[in-house]
Amino acid sequence: MKYGSGSAAVDHYVNSEYDSVYGMSSQFAAIIAAHVMNRQTKLGISGHIAEIGTFEGRFFIAMALAMQPGERAVGIDTFEWPSPKVRDKLHSHIERLGVRPHDVTILTANSADLAARDITDAVGGQAGGQVRFFHVDGDHTPKALTHDLDLAYAVMHPKGVICLDDMLHPGFPLLTVAVYEWLKAHPDMRVFCVIDREDIVAAPKFMLCRHDAHELYEKDLLDSFPEWHFEAASQWEQWVAIVLTPHPRFAIVE
Ligand SMILES: C[S@@+](CC[C@H](N)C(=O)[O-])C[C@H]1O[C@@H](n2cnc3c(N)ncnc32)[C@H](O)[C@@H]1O
């Protein structure tokens, strides 16, 4: 399946080069994320992008290719797994795939040691120093996710989006509990979209924003991708979130 985000550079990368960058995020999720970034651009929401858990840059490059002039991409990773050479691979992919190295700051760090100031310093105070799209894909423990959510929340644009990876992953069941607890402590925030990986039974990403911003994104996503809408939706007690999946259906167990 060929995917389209509305950004020619992202679509070329995702449909033709994505597999050349080893990583874990799906093409489908990268396209939806880039679409949301394009939506932000159309709405005049400017700011930077950031990712915890950049690894070789598979998802990071898609986000960076959707940036506008003056915006920066901050990639954070310990770059220890499987070896420190992963950082060299990231830089070579960035140069090979059309991201301007000048627009990128790579921090070799454990996110647990970072504070909001480290992110705003990394973007050099440009465009207000706020992050409009923050992908969290680092340490998959509840404690670390809670810290990373706090970090993303502290630097996010008021109409920005925080995107969380590996929600509902069978290997990390407590991450969803951490998100639930974090949302209770941050009643201004909600999950507005669940992006499935490649199938309804796989581990999706959640996209979060403030309650007063979700209407900026939801209808646009449903209008743009009606064929990927799982109509039963995602239940969050006080609200529902939309679900986008390449194969909308209930799982069939044979
Ligand atoms: C699953 S990989 C990320 C995949 C990548 N985002 C992609 O789309 O292909 C997880 C990454 O998180 C990094 N990581 C784990 N714990 C971290 C921490 N505390 N701080 C920063 N990075 C961390 C790992 O080094 C690893 O590169």
pLDDT class for 202, splitting at 50, 70, 90? low
pLDDT per position as a tens digit, 210-231: 999 999 999 999 999 999 888 8
Residue 55 CA: nearest ligand 1 atom is 27
d(CA 11, CA 32): 11
Question: What is the pLDDT averaged over residues 131-147?
Answer: 97
Virtual torsion, Cα 81, 173, 242, 196, nearest 10 deg: 50
Average pLDDT, the chain: 92
Would you give the end-to-end CA distance of the chain in angstroms? 25
Question: What is the pLDDT averaged over residues 125-146?
Answer: 89
What pLDDT score was predicted for residue 196? 81
* Residue having the nearest C-alpha atom to atom 9 of ligand 1: 23
What pLDDT score was predicted for residue 232? 83
| CB of 204 shorter than 6 A to ligand 1 | no
Question: What is the pLDDT averaged over residues 9-37?
Answer: 95
Residue written as token pair 């050099």:
124
| CB of 46 shorter than 6 A to ligand 1 | no
136: β partners: 52, 164
Q: Which of 137, 141, 143, 197 to mutate to test the pocket of ligand 1 (most atoms within 8 A of CB)?
A: 137
d(CA 63, CA 73): 8
pLDDT higher than threshold 70 for residue 105: yes
Question: What is the pLDDT averaged over residues 143-158?
Answer: 97
Domains assigned to the chain:
8-244 (3.40.50.150)
What pLDDT score was predicted for residue 83? 97
pLDDT per position as a tens digit, 54-63: 999 999 999 9
What pLDDT score was predicted for residue 200? 53
pLDDT higher than threshold 90 for residue 172: no
| CB of 23 shorter than 6 A to ligand 1 | yes
pLDDT higher than threshold 80 for residue 198: no
